[in-house]
Amino acid sequence: LIPLCHTLPLSEIKIDIVTSQGGAEVICTARTVAQTGVEMEALTGVSVALLTIYDMCKAVDKEMQISKIRLLKKTKRTVAAVYDRRNQNKRRS
């Protein structure tokens, strides 16, 4: 999907989705045994989850927006990316 982004062996990838009246929060956690980070994999996971939600809900809500996808946390070999529509700018980690 991303030019010049090499493939990595993932030991875990997890997507959590919490919905509410005002929107949804999507968190993708990616882990690897490789020596490099998995930021792009986590951000791609969040993006694909959001595009799926958008596709399923577009007939119901013509005003939907996808924005503020960001890296939430990075540790050695673990990355979490988040999109939080419900609590924009309140979630820090």
pLDDT at 83: 61
The structure tokens 């956690």 sit at 29
Q: What is the pLDDT of residues 49-93, one digit of tens each?
A: 999 999 999 999 999 999 889 988 888 766 776 665 655 444 444
pTM: 0.78
Q: What is the pLDDT of residues 1-38, one digit of tens each?
A: 788 888 889 999 999 999 888 888 999 999 988 888 88
Could you confirm whether 55 is annotated as catalytic?
A: yes
Q: Do the Cβ atoms of 79 and 73 come closer than 8 Å? A: yes
Q: Do the Cβ atoms of 9 and 33 come closer than 8 Å? A: yes
- Of residues 16, 55, 61, 84, which has the active-site annotation? 55
